[in-house]
Amino acid sequence: MKEEKKGCRLKFCGLSRFCEILAVNRIRPDYVGFVFAPGRRQITADRARQLKAMLDPSIQTVGVFVNEDPETILALTPVLDLIQLHGDEDEDYIRYVKQQTGRPVIKALRLGGEGSGTEAVLKAQELPCDYLLLDTFSKGQYGGSGRSFDWSLIPALSKPWFLAGGICLENMRQGMALGPWCLDVSSGVETEGLKDEEKMRAFAEAFRQENKNIFHI
């Protein structure tokens, strides 16, 4: 089910340390992301359970997977409020994961490469996912590039969507003005590859002020 909250939402993705959980408990984003796909932000199932146990229950957890065995995702269901599929998962895969977990599914699309433009995004609305996530195409990578894509490729969408890829303080307002369901931030609140509480707090404060400016909330 979709929340009734007005305005844009905020997700900090790629949390891996206990100090980061304590930080987000103070800052209160709407979502935090746990990455289970290979990469520098990847965490284990056990670490995810430990982090979830420390997390304020008002903050929703998103599990990020790339072409994962669905049974692995099912085993992590108690830790996750939403499931983000960031690979080549097709309609049948999405439907199976939704049915078996009972969790909303976010399907990521990478824009900027061949065959990944406006038409691909419009077609993706037909997928049985609950949300789309628009990220930057980077050859050989499924995400986490820290780079933005050409936002003019984003069409008017009827399905709620997350905006990812190089989101930072400098482009936050422009991104929010596009009307996403949520801004998905990772490298933009890091220092030397690790989440920085001061940067997360500064981003959240500016984000909330802009929500007031745009949506009068």
Do the Cβ atoms of 180 and 151 come closer than 8 Å?
no
Q: Which of 13, 129, 130, 184 is catalytic?
A: 13
Catalytic residue among 8, 129, 130, 135: 135
Q: How far apart are CA 55 and CA 102, in angstroms?
A: 21
The reply to whether 184 belongs to the active site is: no
How many Å apart are CA 125 and CA 160, to the nearest integer? 9
Q: Would you say 170 and 120 are in contact if contact means Cβ atoms under 8 Å apart?
A: no
Six token digits for residue 34: 């746990």
The pair phi, psi for residue 136, each rounded to 5°, is -90, 130
Q: Does residue 69 carry a catalytic annotation?
A: no
**What positions carry a catalytic annotation?**
13, 135
